[in-house]
Amino acid sequence: MNSELNEEAVEMNEDDDEDEEEPKERDDDGDDGEEGFSVLSDLPVEMSERRPTCRRCCRPVKVCLCPYLPPHPLDVSTCLYIVQHPAEESRVLRTVPLLAACLPPGKCRVFIGRRFSEERYPELAAVCRDPRSLLLYPGATADNLEDLSTDFTATPHNVILIDGTWSQAKDMFLRNALLRLPRQVQLRSAPSSQYVIRTQPTNMCVSTLECAAVTLSIMEKNHSIQEVLLKPLQALCSFQLQHGAQIHHSKEHLIKNGQYNKIMPKNKRKIRRMQKLISNQNI
Ligand SMILES: [Zn+2]
């Protein structure tokens, strides 16, 4: 059994209640938890233990997913701009590098941070002010992408996605005025997540890669884009499941089946709120 794979699976299992955190006030420089980090960062680092990483898919070489990537980048006219919470960048399992590896250079730009000001991010600011830009973020003011009459293949558009947990994305949307400038869209027919190894807060919540795959398929009028983009994600999940990871149902599924309290005794108040929400939806 490959211990490296097991190690990855364990690391991944440990982070799955990350979005349990109640949304809280943070400093603009994002230094929450810095004290703990500085203690960890004082520990000596064994350079020889660093695992070699594939430059294309950003995965450890032994579990490289490049064989599942398309031989040539997908020909798309839409440009993706991903605003990524800093915690996503350090995750063991990240889907954005896989997405970027499937697209032509320059069609998937990533901006890492919590706060995006006009001054510090002029390129992102210009995209947010561009009338051909859409922000993919669900909400009462969002239009369904599938219902828009615009021919996105005639005029190339930009799509901005927020990459983070549910609460991180919400925080970033609410606190960045720039992100509220573009037309807000959502997916009416979001698929049930295939990303089964990371607990999703609700059944409707999918990974950034899955959102991008569906969005590009709609905008480029080409369903095969979705299949090509989801292939490395399916391979990633299957690798992990073969090496000890467990299928994680969404929290919504666990709550409905009365399994949530047992595995995560903390945050009972939040669980009660979600139970109430779900029972209200079922009436
Ligand atoms: Zn690779």
Distance 196 CA to ligand 1 centre (A): 21
The string of pLDDT tens digits covering residues 25-55 is 333 444 443 344 444 444 444 444 568 999 8
Q: Which amino acid is at 181?
A: L
Distance 53 CA to ligand 1 centre (A): 8
Distance 43 CA to ligand 1 centre (A): 30
pTM value? 0.69
pLDDT value at position 239? 81
Q: Which of 131-135, 243-247, 262-266 has the lowest mean pLDDT?
A: 262-266
Q: Which of 137, 132, 126 is nearest to 164 (CA)?
A: 137
Bigger pLDDT: 37 vs 107: 107
The string of pLDDT tens digits covering residues 48-99 is 456 899 988 888 898 899 999 999 999 999 999 999 999 877 776 678 899 9
Distance 73 CA to ligand 1 centre (A): 14
Query: Mean pLDDT in the chain?
Result: 76
pLDDT value at position 80? 98
Mean pLDDT to the nearest integer, 106-111: 95
The string of pLDDT tens digits covering residues 243-258 is 766 566 556 656 666 6
Distance 19 CA to ligand 1 centre (A): 28
What contacts 236, CB < 8 A, 6 or more positions away? 65, 93, 95, 98
Distance 103 CA to ligand 1 centre (A): 14
Distance 114 CA to ligand 1 centre (A): 28
Longest dimension (CA), the chain: 58
